[in-house]
Structure 1
Amino acid sequence: MSNGNSITVQILDKEYSIICPQEERTNLVSAARYLDGKMREIRSSGKVIGADRIAVMAALNITHDLLHKQELPEANQASGSTREQVRDLLDRVDLVLATDEPKAQG
């Protein structure tokens, strides 16, 4: 492929020509390097044999990491939301107790 929008990346000792807009080339190269690193890591462990299986395991690991990172902000938001709900409930309890005190004493 000698297309002007084509870029060649190397992943696990194989070259891949990919059509990519100029403004996305840096991101594509970074992604290819990251994937190559993950695949090499899996291959060097010796537990997975075959490029296809290594690619699938790398994809699963990367997806797991991505989903885990996306869950963290949600957990923090939920935690903040829970705190607000607890504060609201405490305020309500305080209000009820404050209004009930004169009745209990009278």
Structure 2
Amino acid sequence: MKQIEVQIMGQSYLLGCPEGGEARLREAVERVDAAMCKIRDAGKVKARDRIAVLASLNLAFDLAQREAEPPAAPPAAASDPTADDARATQLIQRLDQALAGDGHLL
């Protein structure tokens, strides 16, 4: 298995990569890095682990939504920054509740 070095939010990671999968892995890294940087740059969350959890939830939610859409659905319109902020705030509140002990994120 090939190993590649990548950076996410300025931190280096050495990842195992199957032969022929480097382009897809780098694309995934770019998505994760962009998602994490967007949350960090919004300034509402400082801790790297919380940023990672929120970014993971956002990416998983987006993937689930795409999988639930009918195949012939037109591409989604550009995202509304106000809606993105509201969703991030809700996710932060849910993460806070889960970390406080109720255990439910969504």
Query: TM-score band, normalised by the shorter chain?
Result: 0.5 to 0.7
Matches within 5 A, 1:26-45: 26-45=23-42
- Give secondary structure in 2 for the equivalent of 1:66: helix
What are the Cα deviations for residues 27-79 of structure 1, in whole angstroms up to 9, with x where unaligned?
000100111011000001111111100000000000110011111127x7xxx
User: d(CA) in 1 for partners of 2:17 and 2:68?
Assistant: 30
User: d(CA) in 2 for partners of 1:30 and 1:48?
Assistant: 24
- 1:22 Cα deviation (Å)? 2.4
Give the structure-2-normalised TM-score. 0.64
Higher gyration radius (CA)? 1
After superposition, the CA RMSD in angstroms is 1.5
User: d(CA) in 1 for partners of 2:47 and 2:19?
Assistant: 33
Give the structure-1-normalised TM-score. 0.64
Deviation above 2 Å: which 4+ runs of structure 1? none
Which residue of the other structure, out of 59, 67, 71, is the alignment partner of 2:68?
A: 71
Q: Which residue of 2 aligns with 1:17?
A: 14
Number of residues of Structure 1 aligned to a counterpart in Structure 2: 72
User: d(CA) in 2 for partners of 1:39 and 1:72?
Assistant: 25
Query: More helix by proportion, 1 or 2?
Result: 1
Which consecutive residues of structure 1, in runs of 5 or more, have no partner in the other structure? 77-106
Amino acid at match of 2:58: N
Tell me the percent identity.
38
Which consecutive residues of structure 2, in runs of 5 or more, have no partner in the other structure? 74-106
